[in-house]
């Protein structure tokens, strides 16, 4: 009887361990589906804007086509290089360019691999960084680097911060960033993070806390105090790593999705870029 109980215990233990390992493997090999929620566009999708713009396609070193839009103004003060969030596409951002073009800037926006009309799929963090760097280098052929401002929203804020940390743009603007991805995931799924070593299994870290410390240019963060996706406490943590010229602006009562239309955000942006 005792041996039977031991045998049953071993079977249950083995089954639990096997299930645990299967779930770990499942998370590891499917994590892109959890982190990225791309909006797809048909290849014949037509973009529309009341501003002059060009649709540009760039080829990566591994043969993937990245789709982008360049909105243009007469006598631009510089270029806004914009990196969007994980659930957006250029189709939802066409009108969003107006806030920057009205202030006298050309605006460059891209769709990451697998987003919008861009080809391929995201398979690593470094792959994204390499794509962004390639595009940044292309834009520097037309715009002086001291006239380029990097702007990133949510996930895009992390990619903008990484790009800024290894280059010398004029300014980095981060909208609703997280501290780093592993901390953001752990806070959203507390039980799962206790059961599974997410920090060890995740191929993605997006360490804003490390990136901004390597940024030589001023860093400006906007964050809504009612953000349920990336709580503004993340930006308060990042504020502890600021240089003297860096600045955090909290948008009272604002959530995660509507920062660009927030009156205070627009006011502060006009003061900053309207000169």
Q: What is the pLDDT of residues 82-113, one digit of tens each?
A: 999 988 889 887 677 899 999 999 999 999 99
| 70: CB partners within 8 A, 6+ apart | 53, 54, 56, 106, 107, 108
Q: What class does CATH assign to 38-273?
A: alpha beta
What pLDDT was estimated at residue 107? 97
Mean pLDDT of 121-146: 96
Pick from 75, 89, 240: nearest CA to 156: 89
When mean pLDDT is compared across 30-44, 49-63, 194-208, the lowest value belongs to: 194-208
| 12: CB partners within 8 A, 6+ apart | none
Residue 238 has pLDDT above 70, yes or no: yes
Residue 190, phi-psi category: left (phi > 0), alpha (psi -120 to 50), beta (remainder): alpha
**How many whole angstroms separate alpha carbon 231 and alpha carbon 56?**
35
Residue 24 has pLDDT above 60, yes or no: no
């Amino acid at each position: 009887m005792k041996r039977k109980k031991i045998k049953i215990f071993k079977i249950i233990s083995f089954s639990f361990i096997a299930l645990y390992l299967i779930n770990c493997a499942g998370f590891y090999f499917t994590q892109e589906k959890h982190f990225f929620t791309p909006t797809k566009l048909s290849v014949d999708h037509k973009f529309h804007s009341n501003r002059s713009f060009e649709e540009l396609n760039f080829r990566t070193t591994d043969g993937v086509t990245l789709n982008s839009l360049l909105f243009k103004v007469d006598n631009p003060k510089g270029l806004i290089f914009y990196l969007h969030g994980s659930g957006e596409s250029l189709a939802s951002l066409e009108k969003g360019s107006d806030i920057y073009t009205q202030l006298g800037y050309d605006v460059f926006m891209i769709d990451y691999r697998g987003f919008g009309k861009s080809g391929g799929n995201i398979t690593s963090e470094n792959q994204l960084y390499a794509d962004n760097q390639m595009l940044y280098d292309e834009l520097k052929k037309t715009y002086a680097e001291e006239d380029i401002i990097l702007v990133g929203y949510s996930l895009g804020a992390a990619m903008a911060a990484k790009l800024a940390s290894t280059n010398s743009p004029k300014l980095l603007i981060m909208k609703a960033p997280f501290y780093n991805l592993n901390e953001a995931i752990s806070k959203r799924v507390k039980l799962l993070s206790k059961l599974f070593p997410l920090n060890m299994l995740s191929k993605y870290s997006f360490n804003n806390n490390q990136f901004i410390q390597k940024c030589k240019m001023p860093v400006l963060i906007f964050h809504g105090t009612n953000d349920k996706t990336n709580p503004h406490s993340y930006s308060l943590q990042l504020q502890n790593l600021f240089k003297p010229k860096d600045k955090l602006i909290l948008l009272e009562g604002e959530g995660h999705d509507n920062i660009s239309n927030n009156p205070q955000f627009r006011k502060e942006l006009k003061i900053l870029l309207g000169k």
